[in-house]
């Protein structure tokens, strides 16, 4: 059930109504129970065979959390460490089994064949449970944060289960941490009008970028990729630049919709994108792109590695970065292309680590005219270009496929006129998004309208919303399930 | 070693590693309070502290700290 569908709207109206009934608000536990049941229903519609898996994993980790805490109270440090490791292994194990088992086994069989040993692997038909990459990360995070004494385990099972299964973010994130999310489940929620309206605006914006830009771009890029060997180099180059825009508007759109739904229910869901197109280097990019994933892997993989390698100076940092970012790549799927994608990004980090500017968070200051400085602007363009090249590897079916595509760009036809079936309206929308990326960079989303200027008039605001609504209506083609659903 | 002594020495280390003009750490100080204190310099600080005080922290200890006060508590246990 995609968020931008009538089915979801009907589902959500029911959820919302019961959630905010006068009687519900008196009992946070009832509100959580209702959310939990709604979430399991939501998951069941997406993948009913996997509901037992979700419930089972939730029960196991709930018990593990309680057991871990009791060992910590008794100061049994070794047992506590062992239980934490068990939790991490179980979570990763789930992910490895469903996502990567066939990949590892096939790759291993190929390796054996390459050195002359006969090996075949009958691909198991393992169905990938939707959302597994996201909820396993929440489960693991819960155990680690208990071990680091940053949270207490949940006494209330409903509370914990609701955190894991929370339907706005269950299928495709953002990945919330227990530290910030679980406390929100402990209070009862009354309708916060201001927050709910902000949520609606955020959903509207998310729908706009997804439906009016991403979905159309997907049709264009799919058709060109299907036949890339007969396209001109210039077309392929434009493809490259458009594909990044497609992924961004798609995933940012989805994240905004999820966060907006959360706001209507009174929850603050963690942010996933913070104007990543303004990034001036690769470190800044990953700090602002798919933030919930990057920060998860940074906190639980990079920091421990960095600490373990701390006496290796720059080599230690580089090694930690490489492992970190290759894992981010591989998280996306079971293909060597994702590993290479990660490695490519790791190479882009090398100059930053060597110059020591890797961890620095330099503020983005406008020039006297309110525009980005020239030096910053060129860096943004370069970074966008480098990131776009990486996404070719991300999109390809195999490494050879990616290199064929690269070869296709670097041909003499690079200087011919590109030809893409791109609607003028889509180009206009992309331009709008690019401009807003800069002008609304301090806002969470562009529809957090300024209270001065023309938008202080209700009529102006509603005209804008209606205009966007009209665009949605005109451009709603087939509902394209978005790219990150397969993760 | 006294707590106050540790803080004085830490101030010097922070000034050196983070290239600060001055530093006045308190129990509540955390990375949020000092702009130059990022993830990379965090590790450099730890290496410098371990060297200066001739102690070794475990990874878990380091990841538990929420502020300088908690770090100093860990240090006192080792000194």
DSSP string covering A368-420, please?
TTSSBPHHHHHHHHHHHHHHHHHHHHHH-SSHHHHHHHHHHHTSGGGGS----
Tens-binned pLDDT, residue by residue, of chain A (487 aa) = 777 788 889 999 999 999 999 888 777 789 999 999 999 999 998 888 889 999 999 999 999 999 999 999 999 999 999 999 999 999 999 988 888 877 777 777 777 777 777 666 666 666 667 788 899 999 999 999 999 999 999 999 999 999 999 999 998 889 999 999 999 999 889 999 999 999 999 999 999 999 999 999 999 999 999 989 889 999 999 999 999 999 999 999 999 999 999 999 999 999 999 999 999 999 999 999 999 999 999 999 998 999 999 988 888 889 999 999 999 988 888 888 999 999 999 999 999 988 877 777 788 889 999 999 999 999 999 999 999 999 999 999 999 999 999 999 998 788 888 888 888 999 999 999 999 999 999 999 999 998 888 988 999 999 999 999 999 988 876 555 555 555 5
ipTM: 0.85
Examine the fold and report which residue of A164, A190, A216 is the final residue of a domain before the chain moves on. A190
Residue A134 sits in the same domain as residue A231: no
Contact A359 B62 (CB under 8 A): no
pLDDT at A101: 78
- Please check whether residue A298 lies inside any domain of the structure: no
Helices A132-147 and A157-165, interaxial angle, to 10°?
Answer: 140
Residue A182 sits in the same domain as residue A205: no
Contact A308 B62 (CB under 8 A): no
Which residue ranges make up each domain of chain B?
Answer: 3-78
CA–CA separation, A153 and B46 (whole Å): 29
Closest CA to A291 of A173, A143, A436, A442: A173
- Please check whether residue A320 lies inside any domain of the structure: no
pLDDT at A46: 84
Where in the sequence is the domain holding A26, given as residue range(s)?
6-190
CA–CA separation, A358 and A382 (whole Å): 17
In sequence order, what are the residues at sequence separation of 6 or more whose Cβ sits closer than 8 angstroms to the Cβ of residue A109? A119, A120, A121
Q: How far is CA A156 from CA A32, A33, A159, A249, in A?
A: 10, 11, 5, 38
Q: Which of residues 12-71 of B touch A (CB under 8 A)?
A: 38-43, 46-47, 59-60, 62-64, 66
Give B39 to chain A, closest Cα distance, Å. 6
Residue A198 sits in the same domain as residue A177: no
pTM comes to 0.90
- Two tokens at A29? 């536990």
pLDDT at A405: 94
- Please check whether residue A50 lies inside any domain of the structure: yes
CA–CA separation, A158 and A172 (whole Å): 21
pLDDT at A123: 61
Examine the fold and report which residue of A167, A190, A213 is the final residue of a domain before the chain moves on. A190
Burial (0-12, 13-18, 19+ Cβ within 10 Å), A2: middle
Mutation target vs A (from B19, B32, B60; most A CBs, 10 A cutoff): B60
Residue A458 sits in the same domain as residue A393: yes
CA–CA separation, B27 and A294 (whole Å): 29
Residue A224 sits in the same domain as residue A145: no
Residue A70 sits in the same domain as residue A151: yes
Q: B-chain residues within 8 Å CB-CB of A317?
A: 40, 43
**What are the start-end ranges of the E strands in A174-261?**
none
CB burial readout A6-42, b (16+ within 10 A) else e: eebeebbeebbebbbeeebeeebebbbbbbbebbbbb
- Please check whether residue A144 lies inside any domain of the structure: yes
Q: How far is CA A161 from CA A28, A29, A43, A135, A139, in A?
A: 14, 12, 13, 11, 10
DSSP 8-state assignment for residue A155? S
Tens-binned pLDDT, residue by residue, of chain B (79 aa) = 788 999 999 999 999 988 888 899 999 999 888 888 887 788 889 999 999 999 999 988 998 898 999 999 999 998 8
Q: A-chain residues within 8 Å CB-CB of B62?
A: 307
For domain B3-78, give the CATH superfamily. Answer: ACP-like (1.10.1200.10)
pLDDT at A22: 85
Contact A307 B38 (CB under 8 A): no
- Two tokens at A481? 């399930």
pLDDT at A106: 77
Contact B7, B79 (CB under 8 A): no
Residue A63 sits in the same domain as residue A102: yes
Contact A46, A171 (CB under 8 A): yes
Residue A263 sits in the same domain as residue A206: yes
pLDDT at A1: 72
* Residue A111 contacts B, CB cutoff 8 Å: no
Contact A317 B43 (CB under 8 A): yes
Examine the fold and report which residue of A140, A173, A190 is the final residue of a domain before the chain moves on. A190
CA–CA separation, A17 and A322 (whole Å): 48
pLDDT at A125: 60
Domain count, chain A: 2
The string of pLDDT tens digits covering residues B37-52 is 887 788 889 999 999 9
CA–CA separation, A341 and A343 (whole Å): 5
pLDDT at A188: 87
Residue A74 sits in the same domain as residue A184: yes
């Amino acid at each position: 059930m995609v968020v931008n569908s009538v089915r979801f709207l009907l589902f959500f109206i029911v959820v919302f109504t019961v959630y905010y009934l006068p009687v519900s608000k008196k009992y946070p536990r009832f509100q959580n129970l209702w959310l939990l049941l709604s979430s399991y229903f939501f998951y069941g519609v997406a993948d009913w065979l996997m509901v037992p898996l979700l419930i089972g994993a939730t029960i196991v980790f709930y018990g593990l959390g309680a057991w871990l805490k009791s060992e910590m109270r008794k100061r049994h440090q070794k047992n506590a460490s062992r239980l934490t490791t068990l939790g991490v292994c179980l979570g990763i194990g789930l992910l490895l089994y469903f996502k990567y088992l066939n990949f590892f086994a096939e790759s291993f069989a190929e390796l054996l064949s390459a050195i002359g040993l006969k090996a075949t692997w009958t691909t198991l038909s393992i169905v990938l449970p939707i959302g597994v990459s996201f909820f396993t990360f929440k489960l693991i995070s819960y155990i680690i944060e208990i071990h680091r004494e940053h949270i207490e385990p949940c006494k209330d099972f409903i509370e914990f289960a609701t955190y894991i299964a929370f339907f706005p973010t269950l299928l495709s994130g953002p990945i919330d941490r227990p530290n910030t999310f679980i406390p929100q489940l402990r209070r009862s929620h009354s309708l916060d009008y201001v927050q709910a309206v902000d949520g609606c605006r955020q959903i509207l914006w998310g729908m706009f970028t997804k439906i009016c830009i991403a979905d159309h771009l997907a049709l264009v890029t799919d058709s060109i990729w299907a036949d890339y060997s007969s396209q001109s180099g210039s077309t392929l180059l434009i493809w490259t630049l458009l594909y990044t825009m497609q992924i961004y508007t798609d995933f940012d759109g989805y994240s905004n919709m999820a966060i907006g739904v959360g706001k209507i229910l009174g929850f603050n869901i963690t942010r996933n994108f913070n104007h990543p197109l303004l990034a001036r280097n690769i470190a800044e990019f990953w700090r602002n792109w798919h933030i919930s994933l990057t920060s998860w892997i940074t906190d639980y993989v990079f920091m421990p590695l960095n600490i373990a390698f701390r006496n290796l100076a720059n080599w230690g940092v580089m090694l930690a970065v490489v492992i970190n970012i290759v894992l981010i790549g591989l998280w996306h799927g079971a293909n060597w292309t994702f590993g290479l994608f990660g490695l490519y990004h790791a190479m882009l980090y090398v100059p930053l680590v060597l110059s020591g500017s890797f961890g620095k968070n330099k503020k983005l200051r406008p020039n006297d005219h309110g525009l980005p400085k020239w030096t910053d602007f060129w860096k943004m363009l370069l970074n966008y270009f480098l990131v776009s090249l990486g996404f070719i590897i991300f999109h390809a079916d195999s490494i050879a496929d990616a290199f064929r595509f690269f070869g296709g760009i670097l041909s003499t036809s690079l200087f011919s006129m590109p030809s893409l079936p791109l609607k003028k309206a889509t180009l206009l929308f992309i331009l709008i998004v690019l401009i807003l990326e800069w002008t609304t960079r301090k806002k969470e989303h562009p529809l957090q309208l300024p209270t001065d200027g023309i938008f202080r008039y209700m009529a102006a605001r509603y005209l804008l919303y209606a205009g966007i609504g009209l665009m949605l209506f005109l451009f709603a083609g087939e509902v394209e399930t978005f790219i990150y659903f397969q993760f | 070693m006294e707590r106050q002594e540790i803080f004085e020495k830490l101030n010097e280390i922070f000034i050196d590693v983070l290239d600060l003009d001055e530093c006045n750490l308190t129990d509540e100080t955390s990375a949020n309070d000092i702009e130059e204190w990022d993830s990379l310099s965090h590790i450099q600080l730890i290496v410098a502290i371990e060297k200066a005080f001739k102690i070794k922290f475990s990874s878990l200890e380091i990841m538990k700290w929420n502020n300088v006060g908690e770090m100093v508590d860990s240090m006192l246990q080792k000194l």
